[in-house]
Amino acid sequence: MVADAALDSPSRSAWAGAAPTRRGSSLNAAADRQDTRSGSRPPLREHVANSVRRYLRDLDGCETQDLYNIALRELEIPLFAEVLNHCEGNQSRAATMLGIHRATLRKKLRDYGLG
């Protein structure tokens, strides 16, 4: 499948436009690092791809609209919640970690009913 090939392509290993914050650091360090407890872990994009495939399969022939916004919302809500938890509720640190402006984070948290 073309989509599968694109996901497996080495050139797709980082988000377009993203820049590492430290010299020589990987853009996807957590995905690249081996988990010593359970061997290697699949990159986040593989989990996302599997979830999208399952969602499309579960549609069972039904049409959907606005899939991009649905997927973005389903990703952003747990992403923001987990990053905020990691940053102990500090929105400035969370926004920096996410690479977005603090005002953008606050707006999205308000839109999603998280803040």
How far is Cα 18 from Cα 41, in angstroms, rounded to an integer? 22
Q: Backbone phi, then psi, for 39, in 5-degree steps?
A: 85, -155
What pLDDT is attached to residue 115? 79
What pLDDT is attached to residue 38? 56
CB proximity list for 75: less than 8 A, separation 6 or greater: 48
In the predicted model, what is the mean pLDDT of the chain?
Answer: 78
- Whether the pTM exceeds 0.85: the reply is no
Residue 114, classed as helix, strand or coil, is coil
Tokens linked to 68: 């991009």
Q: Backbone phi, then psi, for 48, in 5-degree steps?
A: -65, -45
Tokens linked to 31: 């995905």
Tokens linked to 55: 């969602």
Q: What is the pLDDT of residues 18-49, one digit of tens each?
A: 444 444 444 555 545 554 455 688 899 999 99
